[in-house]
Amino acid sequence: MADDLLVDVLHAARDHGPAPALTGAGGRTLTYRELSGKVLATAHRLRERGFAPGTRMLFSVRPGPDAIVLALGAVAAGGTVVFVDPGVGPELFARRLDLAGPGWAAAESLLYAASAPGPLRALARRRGVLLPDYAALPVRHIRSGPWLPGVPWRAVSTRALSRPVPDAPLPEPAPDQDAVVVFTSGTTAAPKAVVHTRGSLGAALRVLATRCALGPDARVHTDQMMLGLPALVAGAHWTMPPCGFAPSADPAALAAGLDGATHTFLVPADLAVILDSGVALPGSLRQVLLGSAPVLPPLVRRAQRALPGVEFLAVYGMTEILPVAIATGDEKVRHGGDLLGRPLPGVSARVAEDGELLVSGANMCRGYLGEPPMTEHATGDLVRLEDGRLVLTGRKKDMIIRGSTNVYPGLHEPAVAGLPGVASAVLVGVPDEIGDERIVLVLTALPGTGPGLADRVRAALPGLIDASALPDEVTVVDELPVSGRLRKVDRAALRARFTR
């Protein structure tokens, strides 16, 4: 295999043609041969319609066979897929749009309908979701799903793009081609977007494969591309849960979906709820990958008791470079602290003088969109080395982790503090026993501010900051605790105050 995501997937399709490759939540299955044919046909038809190499495509399509075919087809046509959340608020969406400079957009038909002026958009607004008018974007449009009012008349359907094309050519290896752009938490004024190439993504899959045992006899049940794409490269069968499915909301449905699966990915908070529910997970599971939040030994012990035949792997990484290290459940339990594990093959890691972890490798992104190429990534995590193993000791920038989302308080607090009546604003994460964090927004009021400040701020937040950073609780205090000669806000004291 080459370190090229697209080439790796298409080579697997050649080798495993009649085998099932991808099954969506509705039960629709594509074989490897069908997947390859649809990807190549999509690339061919996109080029026929003027989709040129280097074109960026805004992408808001739910995980499923059509989404995977379209994303891989766009990359095969020489383009870059820009994953974007239209619910981040109009101003931030507009800034991200300016940074990305897309020529095309792909979205669900329902999203087009809900974002067009009318009752559906008004309903979304009443629920706190402020959608841009997708159909009005000055780009070429692709719809996923049936035509609905609000979908541009000239929007081409994903199914039309993927109709078979005889003898569609295989793309040449192009590891340096930009493949995906993923926005990270950023301010409205300065959004940040990570750019991965076909080569960096291919290298990421190869690095993960050194620790995650996948093969043609595996069935991987997940909506995470981090695990789904390696499944396709390995000739395994990738099955998907319903879009937006939260395992913690319906553990029994999760267990049913996992029936026959050998691998899956869970965030610690979901695993904890599943264990609390007492629902039995299937005995077919071999490996469960855990990540996107701290994986603490008490949770691992419980999971090992419930599933003694399963290997648990705690994956450490970030959007800029994934994975960096993996610790087994046994290693986690034996160590007792927040062990990250040894850097994986091909990943270089060093600890700066202030304790911050700096990493690099072939699986690292090209850099941030519009910025110089990256040679090393400063993770913001503080670590120490123990016999070549990384142990997490803290977070340099007070990052909050809720579910699978990283929230950086310093990116959002200035905007909140600028609201009428607000003197100061601090976001703190209050951890629970499994390492997940509840976000509390703590405010102080300007003199003369009347009652109801917390309610007014809460109502203003959806249009001001990332949806991922919206707090679970908004409260007003008389003064904030401070510490040190410079009298900085004592976040530890605030966390302790709001810990239940």
The C-alpha atoms of residue 90 and residue 217 are separated, in whole angstroms, by 46
- Find the domain containing 453 and state its range: 406-498
pLDDT at 483: 72
110's CB contacts (< 8 A; 6+ apart) are 145, 148
The C-alpha atoms of residue 124 and residue 103 are separated, in whole angstroms, by 26
In a shared domain, residues 443 and 382: no
| Average pLDDT per 10 consecutive residues for the chain, totaling 500 residues | 85 94 94 97 97 97 94 98 87 91 95 83 69 91 93 94 92 96 76 95 94 94 93 96 78 89 90 86 94 83 92 96 96 88 96 94 97 95 92 78 75 80 88 79 90 94 85 92 66 86
In a shared domain, residues 381 and 262: yes
In a shared domain, residues 266 and 348: yes
CB atoms within 10 A of CB 393: 13
Q: Across-strand partners of 57? A: 81, 104
In a shared domain, residues 45 and 181: yes
In a shared domain, residues 287 and 352: yes
pLDDT at 485: 42
In a shared domain, residues 133 and 207: no
Within a domain: residue 15? yes
Number of domains in the chain: 3
In a shared domain, residues 426 and 342: no
In a shared domain, residues 433 and 317: no
Within a domain: residue 48? yes
pLDDT at 188: 59
Within a domain: residue 226? no
Within a domain: residue 84? yes
In a shared domain, residues 324 and 346: yes
Q: Residue 34 is which amino acid?
A: E
Q: Residue 400 is which amino acid?
A: I
Within a domain: residue 258? yes
Task: Look at the block and give the residue holding tokens 């993770």.
Answer: 379
pLDDT at 484: 53
Within a domain: residue 272? yes
* Residue pair 105/111 in contact by the 8 Å Cβ criterion: no
CATH number of 247's domain: 3.40.50.12780
In a shared domain, residues 124 and 205: no
pLDDT at 1: 46
The C-alpha atoms of residue 246 and residue 273 are separated, in whole angstroms, by 11
CATH number of 463's domain: 3.30.300.30
pTM score, two decimals? Answer: 0.82
Within a domain: residue 227? no
In a shared domain, residues 248 and 105: no
In a shared domain, residues 192 and 301: no
